[in-house]
A and B are shown apart, each in its own frame.
Chain A
Amino acid sequence: MKRSNLTRKDLAKTINEKLGFSQRSAGELVDQVFTTMKQTLLKEESIKLVQFGTFGVRQKSARIGRNPRTGETMEISARSMVTFKASKHLRAKINK
């Protein structure tokens, strides 16, 4: 079954229709929301959205890995990664 895919454009359309902002401002507002979330994560600060879930940044230390193609061992450098844990509310809604 083909699943549809929600994009920024769909979010802007809903902001425009439901809240009456112009299409252009609706688009800018959607961008602002995700820019703010991005900047927060870039400061390595987590974001807790009670109904939705928690975004965080986790530090991973360097480790020895292998190139799966060549079998060569190499060091994978220490890095940060963004994590997301869905809230109970969201998980319950998905399974309803």
Chain B
Amino acid sequence: MNKSGLIEIISRETKLPLREASAVTNTILDLMIDTLAKGDSIELRGFGSFIVKEYKSYQGRNPKTGQIIEVPPKKLPFFKVGKELKERVNS
């Protein structure tokens, strides 16, 4: 399912016009992106949480050529599935 599929279901469930369901979905996603971009975390009870991990620069290898390269410092977002969803997806 992609974003428009998600918006269609939200529109049907909430009886909101597609345009408004779309504005709601985009506002949520934009705020989540801005939050992670600042390095902050997100905690959604019952769904999961997102955190940004920071990595310092380290020496890595090009797996194809074996050449040693300096990997620049980077930040990566991680998702940890919430307890409720984790349990339900297994039952």
Q: Interface on A for B, CB 8 Å cutoff?
A: 3-8, 10-11, 14-15, 18-19, 21, 28-30, 32-34, 36-38, 40-42, 44-53, 55, 57, 79-84, 86, 89-91, 93-96
Contacts and interface: CB of A to CB of B under 8 A. Distances in A.
Interface string B29-66: 10111011101111111111010100000000000000
Contacts, number: 135
Contacts of B81: 81-82
Interface of B: 1-3, 6, 9-10, 13-14, 16, 20, 23-25, 27-29, 31-33, 35-37, 39-48, 50, 52, 74-79, 81, 85-86, 88-90
B42 A6 contact: yes
A10 B41 CA distance: 12
Nearest to A14: B31
A34 B47 contact: yes
A5 B42 contact: yes
Given A19-B27, A94-B36, 12 more contacts: A3-B40, A7-B42, A8-B45, A14-B31, A19-B23, A28-B14, A33-B24, A34-B46, A36-B9, A44-B89, A80-B89, A81-B86
